[in-house]
A and B are shown apart, each in its own frame.
Chain A
Amino acid sequence: MSGFRRSGASGVTLRLEQVENAVLQNLVEQLQQMLGELPKGDPGLAELGISESTEAPADPALARLFPDGYSGDDDASGEFRRYTETTLKDGKEKDARVVLDTLAFDRRIELDADQAQSWLRALNDLRLALGTRLEITEENHARFAELAVDDPAYAMFVTYDWLTQLQDSLIHCLWRE
């Protein structure tokens, strides 16, 4: 089980096994695909950071990555979404690219402070997407930990759990603990 380590004043390093590298690459590519499913809208407006989406995405995982800005106020939420969704998506795409560009298994991954932030947010996006697909709640988390190896959700939960430990190790590095 690998984890992040501190490096220098603000950097971090990580060593991944070949299989971990492959899993992470695959997950980030799936995330990129999901992000590509958001409505494109008018290209001119998109350039100004304005989208045509005023409703939350139908896919629950995508909806979790792009939540409403207001609770119980559809009009305000819709307007907020129009003005923020494109920027939010651009940020997530950039973070995903940083992870793919820095991923490696044949050498130590070295990240500067900005790259570490991208990894932190991208790992969280992956956990949000996987956790939503698994329908994880605070009550059923223990049940998932006891899944049989041949349960269809087993591999997804093991991956989720691995991402959790990876992200937590990164946070503790960023705290310089």
Chain B
Amino acid sequence: MTTAPVELNRPDVGEEVRPDLPWLTIVWNDPINLMSYVTYVFQSVFGFAREKAEKLMMDVHHKGRAVVDSGTREEMERNVEVLHSYGLWATVKRDD
């Protein structure tokens, strides 16, 4: 953490710095998809390491749903479309 004035220290804001992105990809728990399969899909679709994918899968399993990604609305719709192609129950949601 820095205490220096923000104006002086703020880096050049380029294309890669993204402002608050208010859209989320949610995956819902369902009784049919296998835990191994959901983990595998998270790895394939998002490029997560096995451990991170498993943790997210357990979040979905125990909490009923979990946020798996955030970004623009278009990006989240693309995610959901891909997750639907794997048969996961996913939705787009505006962050609140």
Interface residues of A (CB under 8 A from B): 64-71, 76, 80, 84, 87-88, 91-92, 120-121, 124-125, 127-128, 131-132, 136-138, 141, 164, 167-168, 171-172, 174-175
Contacts and interface: CB of A to CB of B under 8 A. Distances in A.
| Interface of B (DSSP majority class) | mixed
Contacts of B93: 70-71
A129 to B, nearest CB: 9
Contacts of B77: 69, 80, 84
A102 B51 CA distance: 33
B40 A88 contact: no
B43 to A, nearest CB: 9
B91 A69 contact: yes
Interface of B: 26, 28, 31-34, 36-37, 40, 50, 77, 80-81, 84-87, 89-93
Nearest to A79: B77
B31 A137 contact: yes
| Interface of A (DSSP majority class) | helix
B89 A70 contact: no
8 tightest A-B CB contacts, nearest first: A131-B32, A124-B87, A71-B91, A138-B31, A171-B36, A137-B31, A84-B81, A91-B85
Contacts of A175: 40, 50
A19 to B, nearest CB: 24
Given A71-B26, A167-B37, A168-B34, A88 B91 contact: no
Nearest to B78: A84
Contacts of B33: 124, 127-128
Contact of B92 (A65, A70, A131, A132): A70
